[in-house]
Structure 1
Amino acid sequence: MNKATYTVTFWGVRGSLPVPGSQTLHFGGNTPCIQIQIGSRLLIIDAGSGLYNLGQKLVANGSPLRGDILISHTHWDHIQGFPFFAPAFIPANRFILYGQSKLNRTFHDLMKRQMMPPHFPVPLHEMGAQIDFQEIDPGDVLDLGDEITIKTARTNHPDECLAFRIEHGGRSACYVTDTEHFHQVDPELTRLVAGADLVIYDSNYTDDEYAGRIGTPKIGWGHSTWQEGLKLVQAAGAKRLILFHHAIHRSDDELKQIEAMAQDILPNCTAAWEGMEITL
């Protein structure tokens, strides 16, 4: 499977809460979900509300399906789409979900609890597809077969969160969202994204918002800024930066302004929008 097509598609790019409306029509209001297609292999990163639309497309393409789903962490905005993921209700399909245990609860249990009464009427075990769970920890390296390797690292976020590097055929995309920067560039994340073709980064705030020069200070809230994303990519020698996990209050016009400012510093930088597709 060497040098298979490697495509990254964005289905949800917003953080915290879905925000549909006239101010988010261009970039989109769904919470995090990314599809990585490497040849015939389907990988999904995070199961936010964007997973619903991806699921509809996959069902339309037919079954059976096999997919690997990487969950960075189980905060609601990263798992809220899973109960509405139509392919998971089709018995011919099989999915393996990867994530961390937390608070003495298995990853399987954490995913199951959001689908239990009184929160949701359909329990996970009734979804229909074969769904398996694999626990992973920061620093783990996963061999998914077909020369696909997943490397992991810890991010700086409440309740812990995983960053991922997906490698195949000499190409790599990194998913580094829900992380709060330090005073200096995080050496662990720098190693993870070193030389990567694509870095998807938590750009929830601006530096002024984070520091409290605009609004309430966001220090300790577990998120970063687009300016810090630039620093990470430049320090690591990565090739392209994707601004991601847009704040719920951020309008399309504001995001276009941020994108333009970022491109003045790093031309190969893009603010993620729903439907954006990148081939490595």
Structure 2
Amino acid sequence: MSNLAPSDFQSSVTETATTTASSSVGEFVVQFWGVRGLIATPASNADRYGGNTACVGIQVAGKHLIFDGGTGLRILGKSLRQLQQPIEAHLFFTNSQSNRIQGFPFFAPAFVPENRFHIYGSAASNSASIKQCLCDQMLQPHFPYPLQVMQSELHFYNVIPGNNVQLDDVTVTTALINQTQRSVGYRVSWQDKSVAYVTDLTKNADPVDQEQILQLVKGVDLLIANATYVPPTANSHESTDLHWQAAVELAQGAAVKKLVISHHHPDDEDDFLDEVQTDVKATFAQGLLACEGLVLSIGD
């Protein structure tokens, strides 16, 4: 795991849909467990796309990689527990905002002594490490139990954007893609296949950010990117291109093979998202909107 500063140790794409962790679909599989931005959205008009906040699982070359720990991480954890074997996984956080880390205290496998987790994140805007941010949200009065009650092996790594994480023959490339939010984008490369996870796009990105994003995602088999909106104001839905235009333009400019738009606004109901998906496909045929349970097999 090169170019990382370890902190203290502590005890071609095909689509399917499922609610359990995929282990036999292929050697490079992406699964969506949480697709909302800002806040979880448990509502009957959000059933088809799902209401959990950000969490994406990637199984590649026999390794478990997890990106972001929103409330979808709880569901992913329940699925991993069904494997009934020791689990080792790598968790990568894009930033330390609540919608990216709020599922971590409910990640059941982290409470099992036989399991081991490697946790990666860059310094937050207040310079706090990912370990500090995860610890803080589990302190009273926010949560009844401290992080120390997790009995699995937890290894924390401070990511320096621009450096790589090497996991045997799997390379995870990092880049700072939103200086304001101190958000990191990731690219997972294995053999000749690649997936990019860039979820803090803005409509008017800084030129430096734009160049780093472009280099990170150029030519990937799959780009996972966010829809754009201006929180915390209500989403007026007056112009659907506000939600998907930046992601589509990036996919086109970077010559990516497939685009999945995630991190849907809490006010975006299923019917509205159906309309957005129609608009996206009319502009970028290999684009679609993420929904919970979506599974994509890379290179098959």
Using the size of structure 2 for normalisation, the TM-score is 0.84
| Shift, 1:45, TM fit | 0.2
Give the structure 1 partner of residue 164 of structure 2.
Answer: 141
Q: Which of residues 236, 244, 267 is equivalent to 1:226? A: 244
Q: Is the 8 A contact 2:46 2:270 kept in 1?
A: yes
- 1:141-160 aligned within 5 A: 141-145=164-168, 147-156=169-178, 158-160=180-182
Give the structure 1 partner of residue 39 of structure 2.
Answer: 17
Letter of the 2:271 counterpart:
D
- 1:144-183 aligned within 5 A: 144-145=167-168, 147-156=169-178, 158-182=180-204
Distance 2:43 2:81 in 1: 26
Give the structure 2 partner of residue 199 of structure 1.
Answer: 223
Q: Is the 8 A contact 1:32 1:48 kept in 2?
A: yes
Deviates more, 1:103-112 or 1:193-202: 103-112
Q: 1:90 to 1:236 in 2, by over 3 A?
A: same
- 1:99-138 aligned within 5 A: 99-102=121-124, 103-138=126-161
| Shift, 1:214, TM fit | 3.9
Q: Does 1:255 align with 2:277?
A: no
Q: Is the 8 A contact 1:140 1:151 kept in 2?
A: yes
Give the structure 1 partner of residue 91 of structure 2.
Answer: 69
| Shift, 1:105, TM fit | 2.4
Q: Is the 8 A contact 2:177 2:183 kept in 1?
A: yes
Distance 2:234 2:204 in 1: 12
Q: 1:8 to 1:88 in 2, by over 3 A?
A: same
Q: Is the 8 A contact 2:40 2:53 kept in 1?
A: yes
Give the structure 2 partner of residue 48 of structure 1.
Answer: 70
Q: 1:175 to 1:240 in 2, by over 3 A?
A: same
| Shift, 1:211, TM fit | 11
Q: 1:79 to 1:138 in 2, by over 3 A?
A: same
Q: Is the 8 A contact 1:196 1:239 kept in 2?
A: yes
Q: Is the 8 A contact 1:156 1:181 kept in 2?
A: no
Deviates more, 1:71-80 or 1:173-182: 173-182
Q: Is the 8 A contact 1:100 1:135 kept in 2?
A: yes
Q: Does 1:28 align with 2:53?
A: no
Task: Name stretches of at least 5 consecutive residues in structure 1 with no aligned partner.
Answer: 219-224
Q: Does 1:240 align with 2:258?
A: yes
Give the structure 1 partner of residue 107 of structure 2.
Answer: 85
Distance 1:46 1:5 in 2: 21
What secondary structure is seen at the aligned counterpart in 1 of 2:134?
A: helix
Q: 1:35 to 1:261 in 2, by over 3 A?
A: same
Distance 2:259 2:127 in 1: 35
Using the size of structure 1 for normalisation, the TM-score is 0.90
What secondary structure is seen at the aligned counterpart in 2 of 1:270?
A: strand
| Shift, 1:109, TM fit | 1.1
Distance 2:265 2:237 in 1: 17
Distance 1:117 1:183 in 2: 37
What secondary structure is seen at the aligned counterpart in 2 of 1:69?
A: strand
| Shift, 1:38, TM fit | 1.0
Q: 1:211 to 1:125 in 2, by over 3 A?
A: closer
Letter of the 2:99 counterpart:
D
% of aligned pairs identical?
Answer: 33
Q: Is the 8 A contact 1:155 1:180 kept in 2?
A: no
Q: 1:211 to 1:123 in 2, by over 3 A?
A: closer
Q: Which has the higher contact order (CA 8 A, sep 6+)?
A: 2
Q: Deviations over 1:60-115 (max 9, x none)?
A: 11121100000000100000000000000000000000001232322211111001
Give the structure 2 partner of residue 222 of structure 1.
Answer: none
Aligned length: 266
Distance 2:285 2:249 in 1: 14
